[in-house]
Amino acid sequence: MKAKYLYDDLRGWMEESNKLGELREVDGLSWQEEIGVATEFINRTDPAPAAVFDKIPGYPKGHRVLVNSFGGKRMNMTLGFPTNLRKVELSNAFLEDFMEAKPIPYQVVEKGPILENVQTGNDVNVLSFPTPLWHELDGGRYIGTGSYDITQDPDEKWINLGTYRVMVHDEKSVGFYISPGKHGRVHRDKHMARNQPMPTAIVVGGDPLLFLLACTELPYGVSEYEFAGALRGKPYQVIKGKVTGLPIPAHAEIVLEGFVDPKKRRREGPFGEWTGYYASDVREEPVMDVKAIYYRNNPIILGAPPQRPPDEMCRYRAVLRSGFLKQELEKAGLSGIKSVWAHEVGNARMLLGIAIEQRYGGHAAQVGHVASQCHVGAYAGKYVMVVDDDVDVSDLEELMWAVITRSDPATSIDIIHHAWSTALDPRIPPEDKAKGKLTNSRAIIDATRPYDWRDQFPKVNMASPERARKAKEKYSYLLEGMTKKP
């Protein structure tokens, strides 16, 4: 199934969301508290609409904030697929489309809406945009939550787009935390080692497709621009930044451009992160001196603040990361992989479910270990659960039922020590974080029927897939009018 993208930028995406009846306009909420509280409420309620906040006190009408972009039917629309696909089907369809795509280099153009307004020199003012205080205990206003940072490898010259939180320090400087091992961190560390400023551009409101790709573990050395172009079937249009020369999306809403000084540090944080905790506390982190700001008329901040899982971030990461994990398992030469789901409650990182058709003794353990250490599964993982292919791994209740009934705690769990984690992991002891020891352990749970006597395992007392399908067709009317619990 070939994806069909009905939008090219954030405003086109909003038009399509409005056609689906999934965009709400909200006026008059304050950046100090109300936008953050409202966002938390709708982010954790699915299905819920996207919301665009306008007429924010203290800011011009039209300076807007858009939140909860990934959910409901617009989740499928964002990835270019029909709205009737279920989430595992959506993940598989996106993966198939992605694997067939051939990277297309970006195209430099002279003009674009992002150049409608340009601040340079003394006119630079990051505070001219209505950045919310997302959580009540945050150490500041984070303009970068649904953003992505553009950097370039100083040796290999490839362009990376990565999503890292961006805190406003003052009118002309921002700070951002990047976990060790991330591609943007690799670029930054190379510049720091040379004692050279790192050119950086931060896209605050941009194309949702490009944002999703920037959130995803793409191969090292490959630019997200090239894959966005490949998926759309045309080169991604960029302008050259006036200060850094970096490629900037021509149709972005707001872009901050400048340099990260290797000698400059300021206290960054705390920030309520994707684990659901303030786990990274406050640290001295690099600072970006903003030399230019580009923005469209009536600019839009795309907000995707993390909440306690599951939330909006979990939903989009689950769809993309599940597909990419399945791809990596198959690339590793593993057969019998039927379905994969990186669970929302684990923010699509800490809890992985994999259904297989068992083909030999040790198959489940092999799949689990590879999943825990391949590129997609390695960062900050905790639990990998391998089950038989009669289990819907995207259904958390089904997954846990298989774990409870088909695994034995004493013999079915393997533990991996000293695996790649992050300062955002609340379970890492404070003394280890202080030393920069950011590792954790992994549990690989074999919840398949024991291979040697799987034919003697008790039968399941539920309808066959075909019988269940007929029941759904015939008796679905019995569920009419029923809705999910809030």
Tokens linked to 387: 């089950």
Q: What is the pLDDT of residues 91-121, one digit of tens each?
A: 999 988 888 888 999 999 999 999 999 999 9
134 CA to centre of own chain = 17
- In 3D space, the residue among 414, 418, 443, 413 whose CA is nearest the CA of residue 428 turns out to be 418
Q: Which of 251, 235, 213 is nearest to 105 (CA)?
A: 235
Beta 23-27 vs 50-54: how paired, if at all? parallel
Which pLDDT band, with edges at 50, 70 and 90, does 424 fall under? confident
pLDDT digits 0-9 by tens, 53-86:
999 999 999 999 999 998 889 999 999 999 999 8
Q: Which residues contact 229 (CB under 8 A, 6 or more apart)?
A: 103, 104, 105, 106, 235, 236
Q: What pLDDT score was predicted for residue 47?
A: 79
Q: Give the model's confidence band at 44: pLDDT under 50 very low, under 70 low, under 90 confident, else very high.
A: confident
- Name the β-bridge partners of 340: 354
pLDDT at 464 (0 to 100): 81
3-state secondary structure of 67: strand
- Picking from 53, 10, 60, the residue whose alpha carbon sits closest to that of residue 34 is 53
Q: How confident is the model at residue 302 (pLDDT cuts 50, 70, 90)?
A: very high
pTM reported for the whole predicted model:
0.83
Confidence class for position 486, pLDDT limits 50, 70, 90:
very low
Q: What is the mean pLDDT of residues 383-389?
A: 97
As a whole number, the mean pLDDT across the chain is: 92
Q: Domains, the chain, ranges and CATH? A: 104-298 (2.30.110.10), 312-457 (3.40.1670.10)
What average pLDDT does this structure show over 215-224?
81
Predicted local distance difference test score (pLDDT) of residue 446? 98
More confident residue, 277 or 447: 447
CA-based max dimension of the chain: 77
The alpha helices in 162-294, defined as continuous H runs, are 183-193, 208-214, 224-232
Q: Label residue 484 by pLDDT band (50, 70, 90).
A: low
Q: Which amino acid is at 444?
A: I
Report the alpha-carbon distance of residue 209 to residue 199 in Å, rounded.
24
C-alpha to C-alpha distances, 357 to 314, 361, 390, 453, 474, nearest whole angstrom: 27, 12, 9, 15, 30
